[in-house]
Each structure stands twice: as C-alpha cells, then as structure tokens.
Chain A
Amino acid sequence: MDLTAAPFLGIPEYALLWALSAVCIGLFALRIAFFVRILRLAKPESRLHHIGKRLRMVMTDVLVQPRFFDRTSAVHAIVWPVHLVIFWGFVCYAVTFGWSLVKGLVPGLPIPWPEEIPIVATLVDLFGGIVLVALAIAAFRRYALRPRGVKRTVDAGIILVLIALVMLTSLAGAAAGIAGRGEATPEAWLPFAGMLAGLFTPSGAPALQHAFWWSHMGIVLGFLAYLPYSKHFHLLASPFGVFLGQTDAIGKMRADDSAEVEGRFDLRDFTWRELLTPLACAECGRCDRACPSYNSGEALSPQDLVHGLKEHVLAAGPLLLRANGGAAALRPAMNGAFPPDAVWACATCASCMEHCPVRNEHLPLITRARRRLVSHGAVDAHLRDTLTAFARYGNSFGQSERARAKWTQGLPFRLKDARKEPVDVLWFVGDYASYDVRVQNITRAVATLFDRAGLDVGILYDAERNAGNDARRIGEEGMFEMLAEKNVAALSHCTYNRIVTTDPHSYNTLRNEYPDYGLSAPVVHHTELLLDLVRGGALRVSPLSIRATYHDPCYLGRYNGVYDAPRALLRAVGVELAEMPRNRRDGYCCGAGGGRIWMEDRPGSGERPAESRVREAVALGDVTVLVSACPKDIVMFQDALKTTGNEGALAVRDVAELVLQAAAAFAPAAQEV
C-alpha cells in the first residue's frame, strides 16, 4: 500500500507532502534560528561541567518527571501521571510520525509503514487511547476545576485540541484500516481502534483511511510549525533547560557580571541560560503556587516574571537582531518585564526553582533586576537605612559593632575571644542572634550548651560583620564583597578548625560563597553540631515529652539540604515530631529572606507568609511548639502568633532551647539557667 503514490488534482501526492513539509519545517526552523540568534547575543555562561549530574537530571526530570508530583493537593497531584502519559505518547507519536513522513516522501521505499508492525501498531493504539483519557482529565482540571495559578490561555486550549486531533486521526485511521480489511480479528491487538472500527463500512473505509492519514500528517506538520510559536515550545527547549540546569549549590550566587554599559538594560545583559528560562517555561504555574509572596497576594508572580521576559524576548529580540546590537534608539523598557514591586517582593526562598518541573531558574533573573535597581539607588527608605547601617556598622540593626557581643554579658562563664586565642570551633554568631533582644536568650542557650559539652569554642566579638548573604540577595553586590572581605580578614587572624553558625543565612554564604573569598574551613549549623554533641555523649539530656512541629528554614533546607539534623536532634531530646503538610523541600518560607525583613511592609491582599505558617502549625491540633532553627524565623513567627491571635495555642522555640530544656537535669548546680 502506497498512500502517496496516487496523484491528487494531477500532482503526485508525495510532491504535495514535500511541499507541505517544506513549508512547516521551514517555519519551524525559522523560529528556532531566531531563538538561537537571541541566545547568541546574550552573555556567556559555562554549563558543561558535571556532565554525569546533568545526564541524571535529564533521566529523572525529562523521563520520569517527579517534580510534577505535587503531594499538597489532589488536583495538582493528578497532573503527574497525566503529563507523563502525554509526554510518552508524544515521544511515541513523534517517532512514528517521522517514520511515516519519510515513507510518504519517498514512495516505494522498501520499509514497512510503522502500523504494519504489530507491536508498533499496538503501542500507537494504546498511547492514542490513554493520551485521550489523559487529555480529558487535563481539560477537566483546567476548565472545570479551575485551580488557582493555572491559566486558561488560548494557547493552552489550542494545544489540548491539537494533541487530541493528532490522536483521534491516528486512531480513526487504524479503525478504518480494520474496517477495510473486514476482519473481526486483526493481526495486531488494537483495543481502541477496534472500538471505533464499527463506525466505518468496509466499502468506504480505504478512502477514509487515506483521508485520516493525510489529516494526521497535516495536523502534525501544522503542529510542528505552530509549536515554537507557542508555550509548547517548552517541549523542545525544556530538555535542554534541564540538561543545562544549575548543578552547583543554589546557595552560590554568581558574582555580578553586569557590563559597565550605562543606562543599558536589555537582553544582552542576560546570560544565554537566563534567556533559555522563558523559552523552556511551560506556563504550568507551579512556581506561583509555591511562592509565598504570590500566595500572600503581593505584587510578585514568578511565572509572570518569566513570561514577561519571554514577551520581551519576542518584542525586543527582532529589534536587537536588526540593529545588530548597537542602535542607540533601542532601549526596550525592561521595567515592563521586571516591575520593581514584583522584584522586591521576593523572599529568595527558592521554592519556585525547587518546584519548577523544567528546572527553570527564577532567582538569577530576580537578582539581575535587583542589581539594576540598586545601581540606580532605587531602594525603599527602610532598605536604604539598613544598607547604610551595613556599610557603617556591619549589622542591620544600626548599632555599634562594639555592642555585638553584649549578649554574652551575664553568661556564667567566659566565651573565648577567637581573635586572641586558638579555638577548635569558631562560632559565627550572626546579626539577629547577636543584636535582637528577642533572640539573644536563644544565643545564650546555645552558648550554655556548648559550655556544658566542654566545646572549645570562641567568637569574633567586635570583629564579626554581617555575613552579607542577604545584602547579596538584595542585589548590593559591592556590599556583600565588602562584608565578606572584612569577615575573611578577621577570620584569617584566628586559629580554628571549623566554623559553627546559629544563622542559616550566614551558614549559606559562609559555606557556599566564602570559599571564593578565601575561606576554607568546614562550616556547620548549630543543630548539626549539637546533634554530634548529644550523640557523642558530650551533652547529656533527659527526654522531654513535648509534641512539636519543625519549620525548615529556607537557607538551611532547600538551600543546603539540611533537613535531617534538626529533626534528629529534636528526636534525640525526646520531642515527638509532627510534620506540617508543607515540609522539607515544600517548606513554606516565613517571608523574611532576601532583605524582605528590612523593606517597608506593604502587605498583599492575602495573609502574610509567617501567618500562614503559624496557622498551618496550629491546624495540626496537637502540637504545642513550633520549632525552628533560624533567628529570623523566631522573630517572624512570634509576631505572627500575635497577629493571628495564637499566642495561647503555640510557643515558638529554637531547637537549641528545647535541647537546653532537656539538658537541664544535668546542669551544674552553680549554673541554673
């Protein structure tokens, strides 16, 4: 059977197929070339290290797609199997389509049609049917259930219909084939086509089969042409996006590479990987749903930021290419793509990146926009005061550096001055732990525990500066560098083996970013160190009987994967742990990160992230303590307890406080705390 041998209106059908393919593939190629040229305009970025890790990311996130599994709600969880079926159906259909196309373009080619091979025919049939079911579920979810953050764009509708048509024409063609053969039992097992075969009469079937084949080929070719002009381009771009995804710790930010081109902020100021992000975006809304600022009704939607950049690429890209990168008239307003309100609303919690199924990277985009704003001095008054305080006093509190170690006053023992004597462990205390009166008792609890355990520990006293983690994420790169240089200089005069810190934000930058500034010592969080001390027997505890829930600080959990140590420590002191629905990588940010804690409070229309979190803990019903391991959390949650009226229902504690409580029985008589 040769489907394209006969002439149609006097022209051989294969010639028509050649013409149609040339047009569609041409349109496709044109668009791809456009994107490639845009990416070539952008800045370089190296993404070819860690090849093994990259291949593993492709294996999981392209082939299995676990990031689609959203366990927080059924309406989102269902998407995983649905998408996986559609994806694999697509792969199957892409292969058979290519095969059919070649065979159709070259009549008489001595290979069979794919459907002539029973196993292939069965696969095509099965996928066709299952994909149709999956499409029905997807459409029902999108249009009937209408979950938040899932957009009902024209694009989305067109694509659902197109895929359905691809499957239907294929199934109908196979069904007509069965009808034409007049056999009750075809040689291949075709359950879905078999169901449809009854619709056709044996006499009319061959002509219909031919027509369905043509419509199938036409629709797929049309799809191919349409694909790169739609959100479905993610199908092509996202496997590259995943392969070229971030393999370094997400807590390690790239240094500021902005060129000294005054007044310019356009696509050339992004790296090619940053511009690949909007191309790979499937507009699935996962980043929005995971975003604390979005959920609080603030001006930020990470999805919109990514989409805005895409629109900018489409609008400004052709201009840039035509102007060959130089025309002065070309100053596309990037602020349209990155509204300052949105850019500042980000708490840098990395939840969007963690949940993006195509491994898109939102934070580098946000930082780039922030750096731009900071370079113009466009920061709000509170933030300006905080940055000025960083510059003058090295802390966000605007207090003298001489007051940094004031919290040690009243400790019944002396904490070593690491600047003056060698220590085993150097304790980098952090700003909030040092200066905030609401947190100082926790800091003293940690000191007491270290002392009880006989740890050889010291602090930097006046020489410690804010580590700069948040300054960097505000976009004040120069401030980060200055603070890092000062801290590294102070540390270089000390003798120590490792660093412990009570501050997850400091932990992140000390561990991931300071090595670039010359720090080589290992860095641990106080929960990790305390766990060692308890397990090693240096710190004796008697079990508490408390039921509590643990909140993962973003910079400890998502940023550095420290999920287990705090939980193990809590269990080791007899705390019975109940998990909140959003835990570990789904942990919900308190809203303080990325400098948010110092910005003017511009509450959104919804409840604040910390309030949402406190309510989540209260809703567990049977826990009395919300435990965290980050000073900023403590401050945020204590406020949220008051604003939600839950002061009586829940206490907010640091892990260390519970450990100290458990160690109370073994306190030396002179040291009742």
Chain B
Amino acid sequence: MNIVVLMKQVPDLVEELEVDAGGTLLDRAWLRFITSEYDDHALEQALLLKEQHGGTVRVLALDMGEADEMLFTALAKGADSAVKLSGDFATGIDSHSAAGIYRHALEGASFDLILTGVQAIDDLDGPAGAMLATHLGLPYIGVVSGIDVDTANGEAHVRKEYPGGLLAEFTVDLPAVIGIQAAMQPPRYVPISRIRQTMKTASIDETAAQGERIAGAISVERMYKPERAGSATMLEGSADSIAERLLDILTEHGIGR
C-alpha cells in the first residue's frame, strides 16, 4: 500500500489578516502559515492505513510558508519520504495550477492512493484533488471521513457523511485520489524531541515544480473586509423623551400618520 499525501500551508488565522495595497492579495508582511487542517487529516489517514496494511507514505508539498517544518513533522509522525516542490509561490497559487504541478510530479510514479485535504481555507475551492485525478485518469471522491482498503481486490471502501446524520459508503477502484474531510482518528501528536531528531537525521527531497501556471484560470478580482451593513441607534433618556423621539423617527420614515 503506497500512499501519496499532498499537503499545503495556509494562512494562520491567529494573526489579523490584512489585504495588501493591490487589493487582491493578503498582505504577506503579517502573514504566518500553518498546515492546512484537512491535509493534516489526510496525513493521519495515510499513516493509519500504513499501520494497517504496511507500505509507504510519501508526502508532497509546494514550497510555501513553513513547508520544511510541515514536512519534517510529517516524517517525524511516520511518513517515509517527503518532497518539496520548489518554485515561485510567493503570491500563492490557484488550484488549477497546483493540480498541474502535482500531475508532473506524479506521472509515471507508482502508488495505490493519493490523499489530500478536501479543501483549504485559503481557497475554499476544493477541485485540486479532482483535477489531479482527471489529469492522471483516476477516480476521485471527496469529503471522505473513513477509508477501509481491500488490498486483495484492489479497492477502497470510503465513507462520506451527509447532513441529517446519514452516512454513505462507496467502493472505489485503486489507484484513486481521495479528498479527506476527517481521518478516522484525530491527527496524532508528535513530541518535539522526535521532530528535532528528524530534522537532524532525515532529509527532504527537493525538486523544481514543473507544469504551467494556468494564467487567468481563476483570478481574484477584489479582496476586502466585509463592510459594516448599517447600524443601530440607541435611544436614551427618559421614557417620555424616548417615546417622543421614536414617534418622530417613525413619522420621518413615513410610518404612521
């Protein structure tokens, strides 16, 4: 069971987000990055499957934010190899282009399963996994919160949760791409000493990201904070004066006589 996990870094919401002067991007000066929560679940699910069926877990990430830290943490948790795809991602990347880069990185590689977070908070877009599956000619299923692999028949049984407390189970042929909503267990904790040790003993493979940036596939027109929609006026004073004011306002707005 060889599993590839695609992970990425997203803005950490612990800091105030600011829009930069151009008005279409986040201001990088204050930005700090954190591993996308869904990708953390994808990694956990991969590690659980590896514990169950053996095999390897290979993690791929674009060189954004704290990619090194994320990859070393993945190695410390039990991933077997980590690849950093380097390139100019300073202003982020849309999911079409990302899918293209992953396609180049994975074409011809051998694997049984590709897991990735079903979406990420910085695009809420979700199609990277699906597009990658299309590129590679593989089946895709997203919003998955449970996987059992049947190695003998080369298929996986996956579960999705629907609103209203319904669960659905699907069978998908392997290899496949799966978008993870939640792993079957919360992501594991890895002690700092192990991460530090991993940084000393393991290494991250680095290769240049290939594949075209698909210009204009999706572009942000404007990024802004929601404008305050109206506001309430508090009337203060004695009951009589408030009643008087209220009557004025109502009359003003043409309510009443």
Q: Is B196 an interface residue (CB 8 A)?
A: yes
- Report the minimal beta-carbon distance from B227 to chain A, rounded to whole angstroms: 26
Q: Is A377 an interface residue (CB 8 A)?
A: yes
Cross-chain pair count, CB within 8 angstroms? 45
Assign chain B's interface to a size class: 10 to 19
- Determine if B192 and A399 form an interchain contact, defined as CB atoms under 8 angstroms apart: no
A392 near B188 with CB under 8 A, answer no
Q: What's the minimum C-beta distance from A62 to chain B, rounded to whole angstroms?
A: 40
B186 & A476 in contact (Cβ 8 Å cutoff): no
Known contacts: A375-B194, A392-B34. The answer to whether A399 contacts B14 by CB under 8 A is yes
Q: Is the C-beta of A388 less than 8 angstroms from some C-beta in chain B?
A: yes
Bound-state CA distance A476–B194 (Å) is 11
What is the total number of residues of chain A having a CB less than 8 Å from a CB of chain B?
A: 23
User: Please, which residues of chain B bring their CB within 8 A of the CB of A377?
Assistant: 77, 188-191
- Residues facing A in B181-210 (CB within 8 A) are 186-196
- Tell which of B189, B193, B194 touches A379, judged by Cβ atoms closer than 8 Å: B189
Q: In this complex, what residue of A is CB-closest to B14?
A: A400
Further contacts, 14 of them, CB under 8 A, given A377-B188, A392-B12, A481-B193 = A256-B193, A377-B77, A377-B190, A377-B191, A379-B189, A381-B186, A384-B187, A384-B188, A398-B14, A399-B14, A402-B15, A477-B193, A478-B191, A481-B192
Interface of A is mostly: helix
Q: Are B192 and A391 in contact (CB under 8 A)?
A: yes
Q: A residues within 8 A CB of B194?
A: 375, 478
Determine which residue in B186, B188, B189, B190 has the highest number of CB atoms from chain A within 10 A of its CB, and name it.
B189
B195 to chain A, nearest CB (A): 8
Give A392 to B186 CA distance when docked, in angstroms: 19
Find out whether the CB atom of B191 lies under 8 angstroms from the CB atom of A476: yes
Sample of 25 A–B contacts (CB below 8 Å): A374-B189, A374-B191, A375-B193, A377-B188, A377-B191, A381-B186, A384-B186, A384-B188, A384-B189, A388-B189, A391-B192, A392-B34, A393-B14, A399-B14, A400-B14, A400-B15, A476-B192, A477-B193, A478-B193, A478-B195, A478-B196, A479-B192, A481-B192, A481-B193, A482-B196
- CB 8 Å contact bits of A142-186 with B (1 = contact, 0 = none): 000000000000000000000000000000000000000000000
- Return chain A residues, CB-CB under 8 Å to B15: 400, 402
**A399, B16: Cα distance in complex, Å:** 11
Once the chains are docked, how many angstroms separate the CA of A480 from the CA of B190? 14
What are the residues of chain B within 8 A of A392 when measuring CB–CB? 12, 34
Query: Could you say which residues of chain B place their CB within 8 Å of the CB of A375?
Result: 191, 193-194
Tell me which residues across on chain A come within 8 A of B77, comparing CB atoms: 377
For residue B183, give the distance in angstroms from its CB to the closest CB of chain A: 13
Docked CA distance A180–B116 (Å) = 96
CB interface residues, B 149-199, toward A, < 8 Å: 186-196
Within A399-414, the residues touching B (CB, 8 Å) are 399-400, 402
Measured in the bound complex, the distance between the Cα atoms of B189 and A379 in whole Å is 7
Measured CB to CB, the nearest residue on chain A to B16 is A400
A387 within 8 A of B: yes
Q: Which residue of B lies closest to A379 (CB)?
A: B189
When C-beta atoms are compared, the residue in chain B nearest to A479 turns out to be B192
